[in-house]
């Protein structure tokens, strides 16, 4: 049994006329009559009571009409969804995100995309840059917002923004009261850092500038993620350089201020795997390029 057989049956059932159904379907009436007889033979039931004056559905025909219409509606929906999926307007987009980039600006962009594409679901994962790079390479993410130290050849990158580093310290810390910070002011200070295995190279230039100016800060505590790091700082465990975007999130017990000159700007990029032909990814990247 094919979908066309169901469509032909429904046309006859709705018109209760082989002639009108044939005209609607643009078929020869004998051919339509033959197809309906073949369908009845296949099902082993009589679908229509026919006479020279009228055509009416049998009881089995009435039941089959409901089922056939449901099947045709499902097929039409499946066809529509396949086309929408090919256009990148339906499905799931797996996104990796650095915690400092979870800003109002990015939220507005993602929300705007969702409003234009309400049938696209986001699967968001807060991950370090290293974790995102690995998951992109393994096809476990579609797109990542990262600050990469390296750019693997199998990935593509689009520059997103550059941001300064700032100092995060407990409210009332002595460094907050110094009019203009110098690198020597960090001598002996306790640092709270995300573990180097998770944030490779992030603190290197900061520590180099401290050392070059005779300052030796001490790593007093490691954290496994940004949120834990910021909580430990607010609890008085120490200080740390961090991305300026984190200062947009108000946290009790935390203060921020400008660092001495010499630190590079932090570059953030959008990353995806080369050759990923996902229509949703293509749609998202085109949208994001217009918003950036």
Alpha carbons 56 and 264: distance in angstroms, whole number: 82
Q: Write the DSSP symbol of residue 217.
A: -
Strand partners, 48: 57
Domain ranges of the chain: 3-86, 99-161+274-291, 165-264
Q: Quote the pLDDT of residue 86.
A: 66
Contact 136, 218 (CB under 8 A): no
Q: Quote the pLDDT of residue 87.
A: 66
Comparing C-alpha atoms, which of 64, 73, 19 is closest to residue 39?
64
Q: Quote the pLDDT of residue 89.
A: 65
Distance of CA 36 to the CA centre of its chain: 48
Q: Quote the pLDDT of residue 46.
A: 93
Class of CATH domain 3-86:
mainly alpha
Alpha carbons 125 and 129: distance in angstroms, whole number: 12
Q: Quote the pLDDT of residue 268.
A: 84
Contact 141, 96 (CB under 8 A): yes
**Gyration radius of the chain's alpha carbons:** 32
Residue 192, judged by CB atoms within 10 A of its CB (0-12, 13-18, 19+), counts as buried
Same fold, 3-86 and 99-161+274-291: no
Contact 160, 268 (CB under 8 A): yes
Alpha carbons 202 and 219: distance in angstroms, whole number: 14
Class of CATH domain 99-161+274-291:
alpha beta
Alpha carbons 7 and 209: distance in angstroms, whole number: 76
Coil/strand/helix, residue 16: coil
Alpha carbons 181 and 175: distance in angstroms, whole number: 7
Alpha carbons 264 and 269: distance in angstroms, whole number: 16
State both tokens at 125.
Answer: 């994962």
Q: Which residue has the tokens 């969804």?
A: 81
Q: State the DSSP H helix or E strand holding residue 29, giving kind and residue range, or none if neither.
A: helix 29-43
Residue-wise pLDDT tens for the chain (292 aa)?
Answer: 788 888 988 999 999 999 899 999 899 999 989 999 989 899 999 999 988 788 999 999 899 999 999 998 888 887 776 776 666 667 889 999 887 776 777 888 888 888 888 888 899 998 888 889 999 999 999 999 988 777 889 999 988 888 889 999 999 999 999 999 999 999 999 999 988 877 778 889 999 999 999 999 999 999 988 889 999 999 999 999 998 888 877 788 999 999 999 998 888 889 999 988 888 898 889 888 877 6
State both tokens at 121.
Answer: 């679901």
Pick the CATH number of 165-264 from 3.40.190.10, 3.40.50.720, 3.40.50.300, 3.30.540.10: 3.40.190.10
Distance of CA 253 to the CA centre of its chain: 33
């Amino acid at each position: 049994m094919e979908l066309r057989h169901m469509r032909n049956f429904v046309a006859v059932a709705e018109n209760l006329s082989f002639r009108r159904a044939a005209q609607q379907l643009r078929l020869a009436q004998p051919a339509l009559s033959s197809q309906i007889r073949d369908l009845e033979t296949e099902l082993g039931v009589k679908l229509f009571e026919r006479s020279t004056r009228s055509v009416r559905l049998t009881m089995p025909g009435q039941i089959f009409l409901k089922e056939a219409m449901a099947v045709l509606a499902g097929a039409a929906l499946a066809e529509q969804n396949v086309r929408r999926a090919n256009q990148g307007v339906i499905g799931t987009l797996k996104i990796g995100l650095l915690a400092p980039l979870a800003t109002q600006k990015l939220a507005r962009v993602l929300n705007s995309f969702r409003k234009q594409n309400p049938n696209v679901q986001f699967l968001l994962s807060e991950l370090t840059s290293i974790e995102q790079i690995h998951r992109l390479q393994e096809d476990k993410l579609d797109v990542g917002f990262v600050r990469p130290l390296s750019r693997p050849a199998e990935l593509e990158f689009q520059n997103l923004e550059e941001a300064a580093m700032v100092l995060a310290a407990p409210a009332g810390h002595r460094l907050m009261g110094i009019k203009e910070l110098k690198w020597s002011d960090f001598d002996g200070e306790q640092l709270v850092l995300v573990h180097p295995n998770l944030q490779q190279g992030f603190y290197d230039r900061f520590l180099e500038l401290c050392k070059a100016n005779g300052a030796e800060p001490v790593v007093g505590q490691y954290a496994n993620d940004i949120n834990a790091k910021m909580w430990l700082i607010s609890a008085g465990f120490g200080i740390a350089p961090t991305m300026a975007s984190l200062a947009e999130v108000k946290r009790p017990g935390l203060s921020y201020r400008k660092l001495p000159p010499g630190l590079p700007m932090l570059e953030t990029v959008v990353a995806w795997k080369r050759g990923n032909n996902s229509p949703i990814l293509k749609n998202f990247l085109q949208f994001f390029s217009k918003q950036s």
